Amino acid sequence: MERKRIAIVGVGLIGGSLALQLNEKGLASKLIGVDINEEHRKKALELELVDEVMNLDEAIKNSDVIVLAIPVDSVVKILPAILDKIDKQIVIDLGSTKAELISIANKHPKRGRLVATHPMWGTEYSGPQAAVHDAFENKAVIICNANESDEDALEWTKNMYKRIGMHLLEMEAVAHDLHVAYVSHISHITSFALANTVLEKEKEENAIFELASAGFESTVRLAKSNPSMWVPIFMQNRENVLDVLNEHISQLRKFKSCLEKENYEYLQELIENANKIRRIIK
């Protein structure tokens, strides 16, 4: 597989972790970091995530592949300008929502140079210092509207993901946004809401965090996630998130009603039904 000059736009958790993998697998002849945050640029160089930092225009001129690892609202803002400036470079997006992005890309004559992808991995941490070795090994990556990307761009992107240990799924953007609302976005909202609930109660009961168990820690882990990343995701996927949120609220009301009416037989049924998730998550 041909080594390429790769620009990583956004050298935080995802971009930094990808940079590590690209370097370790020998896929990059040069890694260029682009970030609006000066501290992130310095840290990315210090940690040797990238070989050099440049502004976006310089990076476009000096790269073969441009990876967009920035919040989804920023991606839709800068994508048309990037497509305007590229020649045959491959542009790879890593965002968590796709329908709006692809709608915008489809209006551009260089739409085929974009490969819209979503690596299904992340942690609650952010910044270059959060980058993780082997982060993407044995994880899934979704490639959206693959038939709309140029064959050479799609082929290189697929091979890149395979080389860093990911298995590939293809999906239409609208279906992708619906599915991730159920498997990812609602998990984050639930975690944010639970953290706020406990923080509110903590005003009355200081011992609550001393008593926190591993179960509590794993449930609210996602509440540490960066709001500058998640607010744009919820904005772009608003309709799907509202749909799943309404269902989640309905389920919570069932548990509430069981306790209010002392209907413990139905409570047992609700929990037994929830246990069926074992068939999906071992």
pLDDT at residue 205, rounded to an integer = 66
Q: Average pLDDT in the 67-78 region?
A: 97
d(CA 186, CA 280): 17
Q: What is the mean pLDDT of residues 219-230?
A: 92
Q: Please tell me the predicted confidence (pLDDT) of residue 215.
A: 74
By CB atoms closer than 10 A (0-12, 13-18, 19+), residue 210 is: exposed
Task: Give the tokens for residue 167.
Answer: 């298995």
| More reliable by pLDDT, 92 or 213 | 92
Name the DSSP letter for residue 32: E
Contact 64, 41 (CB under 8 A): no
- Amino acid residing at 152: D
Residue 219 pLDDT > 70, yes or no? Answer: yes
What is the model's pLDDT at position 244?
96
pLDDT tens for each residue of 130-142: 999 999 999 999 9
Q: What proportion of the chain, given as a percentage, has pLDDT over 90?
A: 87
Virtual CA dihedral for 211, 213, 218, 223, nearest 10 degrees?
0
Domains annotated for the chain, with CATH where assigned, are 4-171 (3.40.50.720), 176-279 (1.10.3660.10)
pLDDT at 206 over 70: no
Q: What b/e string do you get for 76-86 counting C-beta neighbours within 10 Å, with b at 16 or more?
A: beebeebbeeb
Number of H helices, E strands in the chain: 12, 8
Residue 209, pLDDT > 70, answer no
Query: Which tokens hold the place of 96?
Result: 């968590």
Distance, CA of 53 to CA of 154 (rounded, Å): 26
**Is the pLDDT assigned to residue 212 strictly greater than 70?**
no
Give how far the C-alpha of residue 209 lies from the chain's centroid of Cα atoms, to the nearest Å: 29
d(CA 120, CA 14): 10
